[in-house]
Amino acid sequence: MSSRRVVYVVSNELVKYASLLPSNRNRSLIVHSLVKAFGLLGDLQDDGQGACVRVIRPYPAGARDLTAYHSRDYVEFLLNPETTSSLLANSSGHAEYGLEEDCPPFKGLPEYARLVAGASLAAATALRDGHADIAICWDGGRHHAHKSQASGFCYIADCILAILAMKRASIPSQPYPRKPRIMYLDLDLHFSDGVSQAFWSSASVRAGGAVPQVLTLSIHHAAPGFFPASPLASLPNVEDASFDPFTLSIPLAKGASGTTFARIWPAVERAKDAFGPDFVVVQCGVDGLAGDPNGVWNWSLGDSDGSLGWCISRVCGHWKCKTLLLGGGGYNSPNAARAWTYLTSIALGHPLSLDANIPDHAAYPLYEHSFTLDVPQGNAQDQNSDEYLSEVEINDHTEPWSQ
Ligand SMILES: [Zn+2]
């Protein structure tokens, strides 16, 4: 493709506060340090084949930005430094807003929420306003946050806020500009309950209406007791009352590897082709990679068919949509850094070699054992049967979208 304009969202302040996230302490610092150590944000010149990258510093989102989706009460509570400090002082949580258990209040939470939302909004706005072809925000991708509740390590629904900002784009068309179509693709190990529910509407409500602006497709692990429980996490069934052809799910069993992803990828492409998005938002959670403490999937970063890198190469190289790459889960921080560094290089059109040695930098010792970029597949067996994957292949609901 011709040269891509890529924006990468980072600032010292964002890294400082994103590194405080209790579920992912210091991950932000480790990730951005590795991207920088590989020189990906340096003076990469536009050579006509690759990309030029521009770093943008996010502004902290204000209450008005956040109430584009979140409830006013939740935002006021979340952004008030006194409420979080008083919870901290009393070592208590706040059940109504979900600020307990896996989403505890923490020092710096108001700044964290404002900066992470601001980061994803800055990325989305750069795409919407035509300043970039690909925007990268590894601190975003908090797909479990709800309108009035934190959930699953997610306090702020930056993915939803970004999609809502993109919805306001105007797409040149004859005789009048039209509204954009946005596809949200979620590759995290966990179901994107916050985002999928936000844009879900039952087929009966949709019947006869215009094609909606947003399609969500989540590929995730689902099993009894596995977070998050949601009827929308199952393989869609037209017979279900909850069926919505624009809220799609592909649950995968344990051990999912590149082989399984290569097999289901044509179904993802079919959904994309039928919907015809102008923008695609990819939540690149990396908790499905081999070596993650979740230990559920056995996905590789590498460039073999079906690897995470292969999927992102397809999106960035062939989909011809404006693309927003967000982070998400990923609890082996050095592997998250490896993955997002590699994906950054793919977005830039200059993929790094997976054999590349980790450059010497402050976090170098964290990469012990291999000291290379690759996150190879492990030994776990892929439990996605041929029979099940055939069911995914025939579970094609693109027909009703034909326009
Ligand atoms: Zn996850």
Give the pLDDT band (50/70/90) at residue 295. very high
Question: What average pLDDT does range 180-201 have in this prediction?
Answer: 97
What does the mean pLDDT of the chain come to? 93
Q: Which residue has the higher pLDDT, 241 or 99?
A: 99
Say how many Å lie between the CA of residue 190 and the centre of ligand 1: 4
The strand pairing partners of 216, in sequence order, are 184, 247
In this model, does residue 279 exceed pLDDT 60?
yes
CA of 152 to the centre of ligand 1 (A): 8
Residue 1 CA to its chain's centroid (Å)? 24
Q: What are the residues whose beta carbon lies below 5 Å from ligand 1 (ion)?
A: 188-190, 285, 287, 329
Q: How far is the CA of 65 from the centre of ligand 1 (A)?
A: 25
Q: For residue 189, how far is its CA from the centre of ligand 1 (angstroms)?
A: 5
Report the percentage of the chain scoring pLDDT > 90.
85
**341 pLDDT exceeds 80?**
yes
pLDDT score of 230: 94
**Is 80 exceeded by the pLDDT of residue 15?**
yes
Residue 50 has pLDDT above 60, yes or no: no
Mean pLDDT of 12-38: 98
Query: How would residue 3 be classed by pLDDT, with cut points 50, 70 and 90?
Result: confident
4-58+117-401 topology per CATH: Arginase; Chain A (3.40.800)
Instruction: Pick 400 or 259 by higher pLDDT.
Output: 259
* Cα atoms in the 13 Å half-sphere on the side-chain side of 215: 27
Q: In what order do the strands lie in the sheet with 247-252?
A: 51-56, 4-9, 134-137, 322-326, 279-283, 182-186, 214-221, 247-252
Alpha-carbon 267 to chain mean position: 19
Mean pLDDT of 65-93: 92
Q: What is the pTM of this model?
A: 0.96
- Least confident residue range of 85-99, 101-115, 163-177, 334-348: 85-99
Banded model confidence at residue 398, pLDDT cuts 50, 70, 90? low
Q: Does the active-site annotation cover 361?
A: no
Whether the per-residue pLDDT at 232 is higher than 70: the answer is: yes
74 conformational bin, left if phi > 0, alpha if psi -120 to 50, beta if neither: alpha
Q: Of 32, 94, 144, 146, which is the active-site residue? A: 144
Distance 252 CA to ligand 1 centre (A): 14
* 263-281 average pLDDT score: 96
What's the confidence (pLDDT) of residue 49?
53
